[in-house]
Amino acid sequence: MEFILVTTQAQPHVALIQLNRPKELNALNLQLMGELRDALKALDEDDAVRVIIITGNERAFAAGADIKQMAGKTAIDMLNIDQFSTWDQIRKTKKPIIAAVSGFALGGGCELAMTCDMIVASETAQFGQPEIKIGVMPGAGGTQRLTKAIGKAKAMEMVLTGRFMSAAEAEKHGLINRVVPVELYLEEAFKLASEIAQMSPVAAKLAKEAVNRSFETNLDEGLYFERKNFYLCFASEDQTEGMNAFVEKRKPEFKGR
């Protein structure tokens, strides 16, 4: 891996992926995205990993797709490159993913953070979809996920003006989970990850899938989907362990089975 660093057990059951093109503010070139896709797939298949954190560095989570790489492309080049399959693969990761964001999360960087399940940010984080300033528009879910997260008026303003949103504003409008001082954002992401990692990994996957389904379907179908996943929890050893542990007044030991 040239452009990402992967630590499989950064903490027990928690993997860390660090985007690592610091000079280019972690601009998401095709190779980086391919590496990210492959790493997430491997971590999703690794039984020892329960939660994944994606981060950048203090200055930038990611300043967007690599504009220099995109500049000379035609529509047919973009079609043939088919970046969507990479992004779709990332979206299909079953385990919870936390984005730990500091500095710029712009364009594809903001979209990547929103593709994750939760966002922990430093006070210096800035979120934005500035594609309009370079003559295009968001292409990896920005118009949809941002609108669902912060509502039409705010999303429209960000997408049409390219204006950045501060971490404090992003928290106020529900785009992110919390804001902490810059020296604590990664630690805070690990705390959240460790808390989730103590739960049943089976239930966590099924619950993530059900929450995400709420974005894609109406209430009736969403409730039906939730019900099926709820039943499925009862096929797991973790359900037996969790409920027995409660009754026996002890801490459960979940195995992900």
53 lines the binding site for ligand DAK (CB under 6 A): no
Say if CB 213 and CB 231 are below 8 A apart. no
19 lines the binding site for ligand DAK (CB under 6 A): no
146 lines the binding site for ligand DAK (CB under 6 A): no
Say if CB 51 and CB 13 are below 8 A apart. yes
Q: For residues 84 and 21, give the distance between their C-alpha atoms in angstroms, rounded to a whole number.
A: 21
Instruction: List binders of ligand DAK among 193-252 (CB under 6 A).
Output: none
83 lines the binding site for ligand DAK (CB under 6 A): yes
Cβ closest to ligand DAK, residue 89 vs residue 239: 89
Look-up of token digits 């790489």: 69
Q: Which of 3, 104, 190, 254 binds ligand DAK (CB under 6 A)?
A: 104
Catalytic, 131? Answer yes
Q: Which of 40, 50, 54, 64 binds ligand DAK (CB under 6 A)?
A: 64
Catalytic, 125? Answer no
Say if CB 76 and CB 38 are below 8 A apart. no
Count residues binding ligand DAK (CB under 6 A): 21
Mask for 108-137, x = binds ligand DAK (CB under 6 A):
x---------------------xx--x---
35 lines the binding site for ligand DAK (CB under 6 A): no
Residue 246: other Cβ atoms inside 10 A: 11
Question: Rounded to whole angstroms, what are the CA distances from 126 to 40, 56, 184, 224?
Answer: 25, 13, 16, 38
Q: Which helix (H) or strand (E) holds 171?
A: helix 167-172
Instruction: Show which residues are catalytic.
Output: 65, 108, 111, 131
